Structures are given as C-alpha cells and as structure tokens.
Chain A
Amino acid sequence: MSLMLLEYALIFMVIAIIPCIYRIIKGPTIPDRVVALDAMTTVIVVMLGIYSFVKGSVFFMDVALVIAIITFIGTVTVAKYLDEGVVF
C-alpha cells in the first residue's frame, strides 16, 4: 500500500512541475524565472527522495543533496550578477 502511494506521489509531483514551466516560459522579468527555477529544483529534490526510497538505493539521496547545493549557489550567483553587474 505504501509503495503504491509513493508511486502516485511521483505522478503528483510531475503535475506540480507544470506551473513552474509555465512561469519560466512566460515570466515577465528575469527574477521571476530564477524564482521558478529554484522552486522547480525543490520539486526535483522531493522526487529524488521518494525515488530513492522506492528503489531502495541510497545514492539518489546524494544526488538530491548535490542538486540542492548547486541550486543555492546558482541562485546567489545570478542575484549578485543582477545586483552589481559582476559576480566576484
């Protein structure tokens, strides 16, 4: 029963990505798109966590952690670029 619930959860998360893609394509300004990408990565991290439990493998959790770190650094970098015009 629990496994079935988790597989439906994966489908539900794929549906949750659709508003993000709408916002990435349509978003009037650059910060809108950055926020949408950040939110989409949250969904992907959640999906990787559930998939790791369904497959019984620890390594997808490592992938989730690395994606979370890289998204944080990417968001801060784009914010600094928009703010000051240079990154470093």
Chain B
Amino acid sequence: MILETLSNVVLIIGLFFVFLAMLGLARLPDVYNRLHTTTKIGTLGAFGVMLSILLKVGFSPMGVKALTVALFILVTSPVAAHMISRAAHRHGVGLCKESVIDEYGRACSAACPEPEEE
C-alpha cells in the first residue's frame, strides 16, 4: 500500500517534469538553452516514470526492462546533447542576444581565422 502511494507520487512528479521540459522547449530563446531543459528535466522525468513502473510491478520482466530503458536514457542523453550543440556551433548557429560571453567562438576563430576575413 505504502509502495503504491510512493509510486503514484513519483509518477506525478515525473509527468510534471516531462511537461515542464516541453514547455521550456517552446519558451526559451535559442538552441543551447532549449538543450538545457530537454537534457536535464526530460531525463529526470523519464527516469521518474520508469522508476514508478518498477515500484508498481517489482522485479518482474517488465520492471527490469523499465529500469534498462531509464538507465539507457540517463547515459545517452548527455552524449546526444554534446554532439548536437557542438554541431550547431560549428554550423553557425549563433547565441541569443541576451548572451554575455562566448569564449568558444573566440577560441575557434583564433585557431582558424580564415572564415573571419571573407
């Protein structure tokens, strides 16, 4: 009984965080800030929902597979975020106008100054 209540609480927290991640995806200004929400909040939301299914069914095949999906999302989501943010920066997507500092762009243009001259 107490396990079921705990599982329902974790489920509601996870669903709320997933919804918040999608809201941030629509509201924040540029690619890098959107990656913040989908990487951090979306990952924890999916992890919470899968953990609640594990709490509901115990270590049956369904629970173990839910744990596998949760761990897989937790491991691969930062790697995907790193790949897509580096590709975006090299592709030429600039930062939003509120940004205050960009040391990576400075380092890139110091290493290969040809595109700056043209």
* A interface residues (Cβ-Cβ under 8 A, vs B): 2, 5-6, 9, 12-13, 15-20, 22-23, 29-32, 34-36, 38-39, 42-43, 45-46, 49-50, 52-53, 58, 61-62, 64-65, 68-69, 72, 75-76, 78-80, 82-83
**Which are the 6 A-B pairs with shortest beta-carbon distances?**
A19-B26, A31-B88, A79-B83, A79-B87, A61-B65, A82-B87
* B interface residues (Cβ-Cβ under 8 A, vs A): 4, 8, 11-12, 14-15, 18-19, 21-23, 25-26, 31, 34-35, 38, 42-43, 45-46, 49-50, 53, 56-57, 61-62, 65-66, 68-69, 72-73, 76, 79-80, 83-88, 90-91, 93
Contacts known (A45-B46, A75-B84, A80-B87); A35 close to B22, Cβ less than 8 A: no
Contact of A75 among B12, B42, B83, B86 (CB under 8 A): B83
Bound-complex Cα distance A55 to B95 (A):
45
Bound-complex Cα distance A6 to B35 (A):
28
Contacts known (A22-B26, A31-B31, A31-B88); A58 close to B62, Cβ less than 8 A: yes
